[in-house]
Amino acid sequence: MGRVALLSIAALALAAEPARAADGGRDFAAEARMFYRVVACAGDDPVPAGFDAAVVDAHCKLLAAPKTRFAERYAAPAREFLAALEPPGLPTTVVYPFGGGDLVSALITYPAATEITTISLEHPGDPTRLASLDKKRLQAQLALFRDTIRGLLMNNDSASENMRKMEKGPIPGQLAFFVTGLAILGFEPVGLKFFRLDDAGAIVYLTDADVAALAPKKAKKKHGGWVDTDYSEAFTNMELSFRKRGDAAALVVVHRHFAANLGNPAFKGSPLEKHLAAKGKVVAMTKAASYLLWLAPFSGIRDYLLGHMVFMVSDSTGIPPRFARKAGFKQTTYGKFTGSYLPAADIDNQAFIQLWESQKVRRLPFRYGYPDVAGNVHMMITRSAEATP
């Protein structure tokens, strides 16, 4: 890393000092703001010293149109539509399983959220490598980022193949996608920490010494069919704090992302399950989740949701009617569903088809997760008796 880049990070770190936690956890706020300016192209600050300004400016020019299109054509109408469906008094704690890279959808679905948890196989990634890139590598990595985020900005969800591409390298996909989502919706990062869970599910923030000790240990992939990462174990669980851009008095919202396998052997009885249970009542969402909540090997996360959520927004990869009905939930459909986008269990396919056919057609003006097998957009609200309209 060049001397100028190091000085730039040091200056940003000093500016972030008030956000440093009293618990001793290392705060990567300066790096988060660097991603915000260089990768997400947000804020009014000049390009940080050590980066080629022409490369960053060219990248931001190419990213501007997709960001604007997403904000105008999806974020704004979806927020307005969803706000009309949500009853007052909902919890402000959000749990989003299988939500890799998709903080922006959580904020669109639940704009009043104060705490958001996303969980997926992908690691948040190392925030320290960006400043070390020379002009040629910076140009190449920013181009890769634009290519991989295109699915999120065009289809409103992140394809697994794009997530795989960003599990290594100097611009980690999860952190980059999360910060870009903040930029699109008018937020700014104010803190970035990493942590582990103790056996009881409580958060333990990593100190400088912890990060240094874990540096030689590469994180392991969370599923055998996934891809290896080259990030340290330190960068497995992330806490990103943010607020409305330019408003120092605005409420600080906390987003935590866990790299975790939600299959039963890894999830049931785990510190993560205990951590989620300790949140009490929550609102939930999922979309484009490969129909995993339909499957017996994922009954643990499904049972957690049914036991703790009061309201859930999903596509058909949400909770099947046979489980929702038994737990006392009511499901309301939007759009049209004639069969699963990917091959999935016939029993639940038929139940969902009957669910949509049994209700009046309610217009859905945007795509929320997968289309159905015929390309129809669809969405579903799963609500408990507590969440009355």
Examine the domain organization and report whether 258 and 228 are in the same domain.
yes
The Cα 383–Cα 388 span in angstroms is 8
Residue 46: DSSP 8-state: P
Cα 151 to chain centroid, rounded: 14
**Residue of 140, 203, 212 lying closest to 170 (CA atoms):** 140
Helix/strand/coil (H/E/C) assignment for every residue in 111-171: CCCCEEEEEECCCCCCCCCHHHCCHHHHHHHHHHHHHHHHHHHHHCCCCHHHHHHCCCCCC
Examine the domain organization and report whether 144 and 232 are in the same domain.
yes
Examine the domain organization and report whether 294 and 236 are in the same domain.
no
pLDDT score of 318 = 98
Examine the domain organization and report whether 253 and 300 are in the same domain.
no
Beta strand spans in the chain (E): 93-97, 115-120, 187-197, 203-205, 237-244, 253-259, 282-286, 309-314, 330-335, 378-383
pLDDT of 156-203, one tens digit each? Answer: 445 555 555 566 789 998 999 999 999 999 999 999 999 999 999 999
Residue 304, pLDDT above cutoff 50: yes
Query: End of a domain among 259, 280, 301?
Result: 280
Query: End of a domain among 249, 280, 311?
Result: 280
Q: Which contacts qualify for 298-307: CB closer than 8 Å, 24 or more apart?
A: 298/262, 298/263, 298/264, 299/264, 300/262, 300/263, 300/264, 300/267, 300/268, 300/273, 301/97, 301/262, 301/267, 304/273, 304/276, 304/277, 305/95, 305/97
**Residue of 296, 298, 290, 293 lying closest to 263 (CA atoms):** 298
Look up the domain containing 326 and give its range.
288-389
Examine the domain organization and report whether 297 and 388 are in the same domain.
yes
Contacts of residue 119, defined as CB under 8 A and 6 or more positions apart, other chains included, come to: 95, 96, 97, 98, 99, 257, 258, 260, 262, 272
Domains of the chain: total: 2
Burial-class residue 182 by CB neighbours within 10 Å (0-12, 13-18, 19+).
buried
pLDDT of 367-386, one tens digit each? Answer: 999 999 999 999 999 999 87
Examine the domain organization and report whether 232 and 373 are in the same domain.
no
**Residue of 283, 318, 248 lying closest to 107 (CA atoms):** 283
Query: End of a domain among 241, 259, 280?
Result: 280
Structure tokens at 356: 């949509």
Examine the domain organization and report whether 228 and 246 are in the same domain.
yes
pLDDT of 115-152, one tens digit each? Answer: 999 999 999 999 999 999 999 999 999 999 999 998 77
pLDDT score of 161 = 58
Residue 300 pLDDT grade (very low, low, confident, very high; cuts 50, 70, 90):
very high
pLDDT of 32-67, one tens digit each? Answer: 999 999 999 999 899 999 999 999 999 999 999 999
Bridge pairing between strands 93-97 and 282-286 = parallel
The Cα 182–Cα 104 span in angstroms is 7
User: Which residues are bridge partners to 345 per DSSP?
Assistant: none
**Residue of 161, 179, 171 lying closest to 126 (CA atoms):** 171
Residue 8 pLDDT grade (very low, low, confident, very high; cuts 50, 70, 90):
very low
Examine the domain organization and report whether 295 and 171 are in the same domain.
no
